[in-house]
Amino acid sequence: MALIGKSPFGGATGAVGSGRGLSSRAPAWEQVTQRRRFPIVQTSTKQPMSDSDLVQSFLTAKADALVRRSRDALAGLIHTDFVYVNATGSSFDKASYIDTYCASGKVVFLSQKVEGLKVVRFSDTLVATMTLRDHFKSGDNEIRATFRSISVLVEADSGWLWAAGQTMSIEERA
């Protein structure tokens, strides 16, 4: 039996050879003709997104929101009970993170690149470790820095949200 799917013209089709979706009164040769005219196609040929791809997509959206300084986009990615510790040891909740890194202009991201992403799943929680290469302005200073970071994403009714994170400075090794 072939896969059951959707006709490219709308509506479900039955499995090839089952007779479902085809007129049971039509002669067999007409049913074959109908099958050729309305081929069965899979509804989705994409594989489910891997945990690493999901986190990479999330991190790209987060970096984009930071660079664009989009409060709404960033807020939509962060869990209500969010907690974050930056490289200087300062702690942030959702509101203070968005204010400091997005809205206030205290820190203005020019870019953020992710390298060496590793993801581990614990049921409805994804823990990701990575190296971040940040380019940002802080006051009058333009800074390029490399950080080790951990991010925790949790699955909520609205999708995956950033629940916690911590970043620490690392020295570049030659």
> From the centroid of its chain, how far is CA 71?
18
Does residue 16 sit in the same domain as residue 72? Answer: no
Cβ neighbours, 10 Å, residue 26: 13
Lateral strand order in the sheet of 107-122: 91-92, 78-85, 159-169, 141-156, 125-138, 107-122
Per-residue model confidence (pLDDT) at position 22: 41
Of 10, 31, 46, the one marking the end of a domain is 46
Does residue 42 sit in the same domain as residue 95? Answer: no
Inside any domain, residue 19: yes
Does residue 39 sit in the same domain as residue 108? Answer: no
Confidence of residue 46 (pLDDT cuts 50, 70, 90): low
> pLDDT tens digits for 80-127?
999 999 999 999 999 999 999 999 999 999 999 999 999 999 999 999
> pLDDT tens digits for 53-80?
999 999 999 999 999 999 999 999 999 9
Does residue 114 sit in the same domain as residue 140? Answer: yes
pTM (whole model) above 0.85: no
Q: Which one, of 130, 82, 74, lies nearest residue 107 by Cα? A: 74
Inside any domain, residue 174: no
